[in-house]
Amino acid sequence: MHKVICLNFTSLVPDRWNSLPDVEGLKRQLASAAIAHSEVHGVELGLYAPPEQVREVKISAAAADQIQCMWHGHRSKGQISPPVIPLKIFVFGMGQDAQGTWVAIEVHPGVDDWEAD
């Protein structure tokens, strides 16, 4: 099943305000967040609720910009971790094999406009 799924992403890894999120680490966090969201809310990712793994995460340029702007510009003074960042995910691949059920996702912005404050 193909659909856009809303995901309020919260980074579990606190980083300094002036740091940029590590892209590979961010992809791992987004994969875990997508599976957890599927499990908690009973939302199917592709054909599975939840799949056993996310094999691939693609972050669109617009989503990367939104994450960076909100990572820095929307963080409250003194807050250690980044704020909740609304994103949308789209499942573009799914399957099942000897390792279990899997999906591949694309990450897109969850808001129509944003800016660094």
Structure tokens, 21: 């999120």
Closest among 59, 62, 58, 61 to 113, alpha carbons compared: 62
Residue 3 pLDDT class (50, 70, 90 cuts): confident
- Number of domain units in the chain: 1
Kindly state whether residue 94 falls inside one of the protein's structural domains.
yes
Q: Is the pLDDT of residue 53 over 90?
A: yes
38 vs 48, more confident: 38
Residue 17 pLDDT class (50, 70, 90 cuts): low
Q: Is the pLDDT of residue 2 over 80?
A: no
- Which residue range is the domain that position 90 belongs to? 4-109
Structure tokens, 112: 């129509």
In whole angstroms, what is the distance from residue 21 CA to residue 71 CA? 8
Kindly state whether residue 115 falls inside one of the protein's structural domains.
no
Kindly state whether residue 116 falls inside one of the protein's structural domains.
no
Kindly state whether residue 69 falls inside one of the protein's structural domains.
yes
Residue 31 pLDDT class (50, 70, 90 cuts): very high
Contact between residue 50 and residue 39 where contact means Cβ atoms under 8 Å apart: yes
Average pLDDT over residues 89-116: 90
Structure tokens, 96: 């099942």
